[in-house]
Structure 1
């Protein structure tokens, strides 16, 4: 695999820097959709970015220094995973780096003694077990289409149109998990009336909570790039795919209850895993080969 040029690396780093802003804007639109469904006006589209700015401006009072260091590492490693993807690097490496970022967040949440945080940590581990195999299956499916795990090769290969319908289900599950949408919001909650309140982020506040949010936004951006990769040669189609998948996740969030960890795991593996395996089989049948490094 040819190393990316300095220009490609610079563009990838720029894309990684802009990604949280894009995800923040999408979350602002996300808040307007349920408001419209409930005949409300809803908050401004920029509200998530306002909230992030307010958190970053608060006093720097980390509850635990180890947790603070791990949160910094979580955001940096998640940004690195996205940069690898944008630079056209190895898809498997990018997925594993993202998994490392998720582990760092779990360790940060586990570093404090709050019982709510500890419950959230156990549920974050369940979500990691649900997500990581699906990400690897998606990577293998893309690699089977392109004959290589290089993101640049996947982008240059014919789009996997036959496998796309089932692969879209897997990517939809991944996006819902990364955005903490129902039924996969069991590790944390955005609503005060639910039983776990903030779960794994209970003891995080101010700049450290902002950093945790940015790390999660990088995870969501990673999945969105994976969705766009299915039709990257047609940018308009790629944007439509991302928007449609996001809309399905929003509708599911507003129509489905939070699942138990068993139900969430069964849904992720049953729906997302089966869809990914079908996509992988179809991709290999159509292309008649496997991926190279």
Structure 2
């Protein structure tokens, strides 16, 4: 596995090689990331990963400084999964000067759910993803980028960005990887205490229950949705969570559903100091 830090070195390594299949990460890898890497190995000619903790997508009170860095273990896992090139830029490599030009995503998609509770988050995501795409796919006529479906809204934002900028990149969604009890795998699961880890599965169960209620409502869902969501939030909060949202949306654009729409339920909540997100298509 080639490990490079600068954009110029990355382009020199990738230049003579074939079509990249790219997995962007912030490191602290778990089995979900490795599943993305294995999918990339299956899909592309040159499996590429990045590790970069992106300051732009953290709010001032969030965990940028304390975000776990597990470099040696990450490198071992990526190499074992078949990664051929690892791009690990330092902050000065990716942001050699203040990033005053930024990608501003469509507010109708990016300012709800995660965007409401983490303002500016998707601007930071889009900006770093565009820079990473520029570095990895320079000179290539096409490429693949693999994202996990756990970050459902992020996946939609990135896909919309690629469409609107007509980038020659296929965005591939990989299903959410889960622990045997149903908890969605996340780097932030490592923050949970033993008792919190046992309780954490309640988020996925709450989404499943809300999804079942939404399906049972049928064509009456638009009228009942807010009450169903409020009840689901109250039940989760009664267990000691602090819920940001549990919501039923239509899959196409995450807006309020109408009868006949394909649905997804999405949730974000804090358990102690740890904020977890999950989703379930229904």
Please give the TM-score of this superposition, normalised by the length of structure 1.
Answer: 0.27
The answer to which structure, 1 or 2, has the higher relative contact order (CA under 8 A, 6+ apart) is 1
Write 1 or 2 for the structure with the bigger share of strand: 2
Please give the TM-score of this superposition, normalised by the length of structure 2.
Answer: 0.28
Write 1 or 2 for the structure with the bigger share of helix: 1
